[in-house]
Amino acid sequence: MEVKIGVQNAPREIVIESSQTADEVQDAVAKALDGTEKLFALTDEHGRRVIVPAERLAYVEIGEQAVRKVGFGTL
């Protein structure tokens, strides 16, 4: 699923493809914003970690689960 992270004082957003569910991402955002966690961390599909300090989060946009189509069929 595609996750877009806006960071304060940064001109561009961070976009990653994560294998985590929308609920897992939402829980991580909630923990970061309520002060339970000092860092907001996600892992992308290739195992790389993105870590943002919780106080620098501007927004997090959680996209829908991408369905990958295989083949050359007509739409």
Q: Are the C-beta atoms of 51 and 40 separated by less than 8 Å?
A: yes
* pLDDT at residue 68 tops 80: no
Mean pLDDT (the chain) is: 88
Using 50, 70 and 90 to split pLDDT, how confident is the model at 67?
A: low
* Top-level class of domain 2-62: mainly beta
The 10s digit of each residue's pLDDT in 24-56 is: 999 999 999 998 889 999 999 889 999 999 999
Task: Please give the pLDDT value at position 34.
Answer: 92
15 vs 3: CA distance, rounded Å:
6
Task: Please give the pLDDT value at position 19.
Answer: 87
Q: Are the C-beta atoms of 29 and 36 separated by less than 8 Å?
A: no
Q: How many other C-beta atoms lie within 10 A of the C-beta of residue 55?
A: 12
